[in-house]
Amino acid sequence: MRLLTSFSPVCFLFFAGSLACVPHALANRYSGRGGIAEAGGRYGVVFGLDQALPNRRLTPGALNSAVTQGNIRETICVRGYTKSIRPPEQYTERLKRREIRQYGYTDFRLRDYEEDHLVSLELGGSATSPRNLWPQPHHVIGGWGSYAKDRLEDRLHALVCRGQLPLEAAQSAIATDWIAAYKRYVGPDPSPSRRHHRRVD
């Protein structure tokens, strides 16, 4: 990311050529060194909104055939279930490196991405299919990065396990357009005050 101007609003040139302008109140979170300030003095790359959703050709989503609407009380709604099927870090890190290149990202720092399940494990997504895993940026302009999607996953999981939303509807919503799903089921914008939170998936 490169600062283009000091006029109001402030504009940033993001990786992959994306351009975004933000108010000064938000811009002070960003650094001229190429990212957003993180805990411990590190900096993370900020991506443009065009990088918030996965490439549908590379990552259309894939489901776990062992999870159905009829057995959610024995699978995804059981505490600790996702831990029992989560792939080893060695597998996901190797896949992350490969997919960063496939996605054409110019930032190769692994810490700037979460190797994310598009359809999360807590919603019956495939644990190991590359079609369901993608290097999701942590920081996207507007807050539409991996931390926002984590909140959506927890919300949809709660709705499904309470019987308030069919499993198939939750899977379709998050796989089709997770940002639109967030706006429908969580709220209009990601909360700027929360980054990390409890994860089920």
What is the per-residue pLDDT across 32-86, written as a single tens digit (0 to 9) for each?
334 444 544 455 689 999 999 999 999 999 999 999 999 999 999 999 999 999 9
Asked whether residue 18 carries a pLDDT value surpassing 80, the answer given is no
Sequence-separated (6 or more) residues with CB below 8 Å from residue 15: 1, 45, 47, 48, 51, 105, 106, 107
Q: pTM of the prediction?
A: 0.78
Question: What's the rounded mean pLDDT across residues 164-181?
Answer: 98
Instruction: Considering only residues 3 and 26, tell me which one the structure prediction assigns the higher pLDDT.
Output: 26
Query: Residue 103 corresponds to which amino acid?
Result: Y
User: How is the chain split into domains, by residue range?
Assistant: 49-185
Sort strands 35-37 and 30-31 into parallel, antiparallel or unpaired.
antiparallel
What average pLDDT does range 81-103 have in this prediction?
A: 97
Of 102, 104, 106, 83, which Cα lies nearest the Cα of 94?
Answer: 102
Distances (CA, A) of 85 to 67, 76, 114, 121, 196: 12, 10, 18, 8, 22
Q: Calculate the alpha carbon distances from 200 to 123, 147, 175, 180 in Å.
A: 10, 13, 18, 21
